[in-house]
Structure 1
Amino acid sequence: MPLKPKTYKINGAAADIVQKTCSNGVTLIAEPIAAARTAAIGFWFNCGSRYEKAGHRGVSHFAEHMLFKGTKSRSAFDIAAAFDRMGGYANAFTEREQVCLYCVVPALHVSAALDILCDMSENSVFPDAEIERERSVIESEITASLDDPEEAALDAVAEILWPDNPLSLPIAGTVEDVQKLDASFLRSWYADYFQNGDLNVCVSGNVDPDDIYRRLQKMKTRTVKPAQYAPIQKTSASIGEKKRQVHFLNADFQQEQFFVLYPLPYPFSLKSYYCFSVLNALIGDTMSSRLFQALREKSGYCYTVYSFFSLYADCGYWCAYACAPKKNAVEIIAVVHGELELLIKKGFSPDEVQAAKEHVCGEEIINAEDTEYRMKRLARCRFFGFEQTGFDAAIDAIRHLTGEELMQVLKALLKTGEEQTVVYGPKLTASVRKKIGGT
């Protein structure tokens, strides 16, 4: 029986979002787009650094690398050459709560590409020689990340937000962690969480969901229960429990990085997601936003400034971020606080709200042309429990947000004073630290 899709109109063309679980436990979420000439296929595995225990840090990321090192019937070169000859690409990434193996290919190669991804997820062989070669590659990757100021700073911030929880640890682990991982445990982790664990396949583009469903039905039955993560403990040392605190972390970089963070309210809804997207555009994520204008255009205090929010299964945060010379440290923090306080006191104008909503809608319209983005959007809705909505429905919901609703969300975020300020970079004098701590 054909799968029954949920139909939306996207730029006048019918787009069907199909969600169905195969008899083997694999869940398919597909968005066929008749006008597209490409397709993006993502295999999302329910594991990641948050699920790892001491002694096994970095195993999800290591196993993700090994997916490309050969299967029972394909060599590493065979896998690489196959996607190259399609004119597409395959890649993978590890997050704190998921691992994704994906490809983007011309639509005529969907069947062949899907076969390869199925093979990689079920039949990878993890040869000893390849494990040792890749161990060296991963160690180099970890060392390189330590030279990336923003990446190093975000890892340091996570340790402050979620101490003594795997969510705070580097996704790839440390070099020492990777050196401890032996081949037998890597193969065991792969067997549990890639071959036999929870799997969601998200597909967007010019595809036939029935064809994909039939191929996924041939995969092995999922027999391993979803991995369990250690929940965030509500203690005086975790975000959401402390009042305003300032942390100074010394690091051997040229500039300071500034983070002003607030915990997101949970449970987090799709409407909340839209609200924070619009608030970001208004506060810090556009050239006309409050923080960009105040910190860069009017004062020249910094080059980089923006705001963002990060979500996880049971926690998350909104953040105002800037990077600047340490001589501007006091002014940066003062301006961020001042702009946020001004928003709470005086609100924002109807023109600001309208401009921010149209910015977010414009981004959605542009992203609708990208099948990889659309595939990842399906996964985002799946993992955060959001309704699978088409782009026109999302744009309509964003345009109907009111200034009053946005202000309610912003006040709920800021009113408790549960703020964490992190200053990461060259050491500041005691007098400067005191001034920042008092702002």
Structure 2
Amino acid sequence: MIYYWILPQGAKLVVEEIPYVKSVAIGVYIKVGSRHEKENMAGASHFIEHMLFKGTEKRTARDIAESFELIGGQLNAYTSKEYTCVYARTLDENIYQAMDIIFDMIFNSRFAAKDFATEKGVVIEEINMYEDTPDELIHDLFTQSLWQDHAMGRPILGTLETVANFSRDEVYHFYKQNYIPSNMVISVAGNVKADKIRPQVEFYLNQFDGKNYTLDSNNQDKPYATVPFITLLPRDTEQIQICLGAPGISYWDKERYTQHVMNSILGGGMSSRLFQTMREELGLAYSVYSYPSNYSDTGSYAIYIGTGPNKIKQFFAAFYEELNRFLGEGVTEEEVYRTKQLLKANMYLGQESVTNRSSRMGKSVMMYGEVVPVEKVMEEVLKVTPAMVRDLAAKLLRPEEISLAAIGPEKVLQEVQHEYKKWFKKE
């Protein structure tokens, strides 16, 4: 049974009672991410996520870690472009201890000067590590170029310059402005009673001491994609990292269900066309895949491959042929049927995890203002036809709108650019 309330404090609470399990998962979703930051504050949302674990008035960082270990629980957090999430999983008997720790972290983090300075160093090293991982960096390079001069294009971690220049007072003010009940969704799934969870959550929300702060969402203007573009980042790497892509759709778009099917067939898994052609048949890559990114008012669609410097020509020729076949011939009834069955299995198997259930409910309420039933999603997925996939592919993957981002040795990047233009610009 799922219960959903908009609480007096403005927060949204969704609880699913699953009496046949012994665990509970909780997620607190705060609707602030990298897109809400001013340019000089890039990375602030992610930095705040780190600071939540550094201690409160009641607990030190060690206390937080040891308290969760004492109850055998798992505690973590992450930051995205449009929200931050703090989540945990515990035995059902320990959910109230877990909630006490989580809400203490969310509302009462101290941001002590010493901890603030220490964490700057930690995040700077995280950025350096990320910069040294080209197969991850390539995706940020693509989005930065796609949404130039907009917060959506900036890295979630921030930059070395912005993080180094963070002021404790500015970041703390940003934290207090956004970590308010009316900007939160709380999702709980597991062996709990909803009528006991609600008053406990309301108790913690009533302890919020930032009543002088009001939500100030910055940079909510819609980003507009810059296409087509060519972005090349010279790096002394063994492999060439390549992202080819185009603007996509938002998570409100009715074609999002068709997109699930299209992506799975094109490059979303081991049976996908790109994986079978590029890796299994031609041996051009170990990793090749496609992926959509959907946000509240925009989106992107990208294809990634990491390949050797001596395989650039073969890759572009094969990829262009595969893309044209996908656009020209479309997909088969058998491919669509198989993909629907795969999506159905993944969706229902995922429901066997309380963490997945909590995550799904929290994101659903945060994005759509309601819990969209799994059955409703599957109903829409099952309506998808080969013609719908072909129409969406024709809209999103027009060759003349495909952009390029690549990382590798400068000499090889020249060849990448030449091959890209040869096939996609028809010079």
* Secondary structure of 2:157's aligned partner: coil
What's the CA shift for 1:146? 0.9
Residue equivalent to 2:95: 110
**Kindly tell me: are residues 106 and 226 of structure 1, through their superposed partners in 2, closer, same or farther at Cα, counting changes over 3 Å?**
farther
1:270-309 alignment to 2 at 5 Å? 271-309=254-292
Alignment pair present for 1:316 and 2:299: yes
Residue equivalent to 1:438: 422
Q: Does the 8 A contact of 2:240 with 2:408 survive in 1?
A: yes
* Secondary structure of 1:30's aligned partner: strand
Residue equivalent to 2:150: 165
Residue equivalent to 1:35: 20
1:33-432 alignment to 2 at 5 Å? 33-195=18-180, 198-218=183-203, 219-220=205-206, 224-225=214-215, 227-234=217-224, 238-239=225-226, 242=227, 244-266=228-250, 268-269=252-253, 271-385=254-368, 388-415=371-398, 417-427=400-410, 428=412, 430=414
Aligned residues: CA RMSD: 2.2
Q: CA separation in 2, counterparts of 1:378 and 1:54?
A: 32
**Kindly tell me: are residues 204 and 272 of structure 1, through their superposed partners in 2, closer, same or farther at Cα, counting changes over 3 Å?**
farther
* Secondary structure of 1:401's aligned partner: coil
Structure 1 stretch 416-425 or stretch 169-178: which is displaced more? 416-425
What's the CA shift for 1:92? 0.9
Q: CA separation in 2, counterparts of 1:386 and 1:283?
A: 31
Q: Does the 8 A contact of 2:251 with 2:295 survive in 1?
A: no
Higher fraction of helix: 2
Percent sequence identity is: 28
> CA deviation digits over 1:335-358, x for unaligned, max 9?
222212112221222111111111
What's the CA shift for 1:57? 2.1
What's the CA shift for 1:389? 2.7
Q: Does the 8 A contact of 1:40 with 1:203 survive in 2?
A: yes
Q: CA separation in 2, counterparts of 1:184 and 1:122?
A: 16
Q: CA separation in 2, counterparts of 1:135 and 1:248?
A: 29
Q: Does the 8 A contact of 2:313 with 2:419 survive in 1?
A: yes
**Kindly tell me: are residues 130 and 233 of structure 1, through their superposed partners in 2, closer, same or farther at Cα, counting changes over 3 Å?**
closer
* Secondary structure of 2:5's aligned partner: strand
Q: Does the 8 A contact of 2:246 with 2:403 survive in 1?
A: yes
Q: CA separation in 1, counterparts of 2:92 and 2:393?
A: 43
Structure 1 stretch 133-142 or stretch 30-39: which is displaced more? 30-39
Q: Which amino acid aligns with 1:437?
A: K
Q: Which amino acid aligns with 2:312?
A: A
Residue equivalent to 1:3: none
Q: Does the 8 A contact of 2:57 with 2:108 survive in 1?
A: yes
> CA deviation digits over 1:113-156, x for unaligned, max 9?
11211111111112222222222211211111111112211121
**Kindly tell me: are residues 343 and 386 of structure 1, through their superposed partners in 2, closer, same or farther at Cα, counting changes over 3 Å?**
farther
**Kindly tell me: are residues 135 and 435 of structure 1, through their superposed partners in 2, closer, same or farther at Cα, counting changes over 3 Å?**
closer
Q: Which runs of 5+ in 1 are unaligned?
A: 1-15
**Kindly tell me: are residues 86 and 329 of structure 1, through their superposed partners in 2, closer, same or farther at Cα, counting changes over 3 Å?**
same
Q: CA separation in 2, counterparts of 1:386 and 1:361?
A: 23
**Kindly tell me: are residues 30 and 228 of structure 1, through their superposed partners in 2, closer, same or farther at Cα, counting changes over 3 Å?**
farther
Q: Which amino acid aligns with 1:216?
A: V
Q: CA separation in 1, counterparts of 2:272 and 2:413?
A: 31
Structure 1 stretch 249-258 or stretch 410-419: which is displaced more? 410-419
**Kindly tell me: are residues 411 and 431 of structure 1, through their superposed partners in 2, closer, same or farther at Cα, counting changes over 3 Å?**
closer
**Kindly tell me: are residues 430 and 419 of structure 1, through their superposed partners in 2, closer, same or farther at Cα, counting changes over 3 Å?**
closer
Q: CA separation in 2, counterparts of 1:127 and 1:431?
A: 51
> CA deviation digits over 1:358-383, x for unaligned, max 9?
11112112211222222222233234
* Secondary structure of 2:40's aligned partner: coil
Q: Does the 8 A contact of 1:166 with 1:230 survive in 2?
A: no
Q: Does the 8 A contact of 2:9 with 2:181 survive in 1?
A: no
Number of paired residues? 417
Structure 1 stretch 249-258 or stretch 413-422: which is displaced more? 413-422
**Kindly tell me: are residues 22 and 277 of structure 1, through their superposed partners in 2, closer, same or farther at Cα, counting changes over 3 Å?**
same
**Kindly tell me: are residues 52 and 431 of structure 1, through their superposed partners in 2, closer, same or farther at Cα, counting changes over 3 Å?**
closer
Q: CA separation in 1, counterparts of 2:199 and 2:181?
A: 18
